[in-house]
Amino acid sequence: MANVTSICEKFEELTQNAANPEDLLRQVLDILQTQAGIRGYFCKIWGRRWSFWIGNDLLTFAAEKMQLSPTLGFCYEEDKQGLSAEDRQVILQCLKNRLGKLAVD
């Protein structure tokens, strides 16, 4: 498993070079699953409704959800690969910092 700093640096690099939001989010999901053991999907948010947008459509129930911006959310669960709660929080905070400004229509 990659270290937390490496994952956060990859998020930063991806957001700077992203061609479109959909590709960016797919790449982020790949990094989260392969390097941090976090499976999930992104949702568009309209008021109180979270609607599936991009990600693991086989994930029928995500144990956690996180609002990244007023219009973008992330639902996720962990594969039990030994990621500490502290490391998970750092990675999710990096995700929020990098994607919170992403324009979602």
Q: What pLDDT digit, counting tens, does each position of 40-82 carry?
A: 999 999 999 999 999 987 776 667 899 999 999 999 987 766 6
Task: Tell which wins on pLDDT, 27 or 105.
Answer: 27
Contacts of 48 (CB under 8 A, 6+ apart): none
**What is the model's pTM?**
0.87
pLDDT > 90? residue 84: no
Number of Cβ atoms within 10 Å of the Cβ of 32? 22
Q: For the residues 14-36, what does the mean pLDDT come to?
A: 89
Residue 44 in contact with residue 51, Cβ under 8 Å?
yes
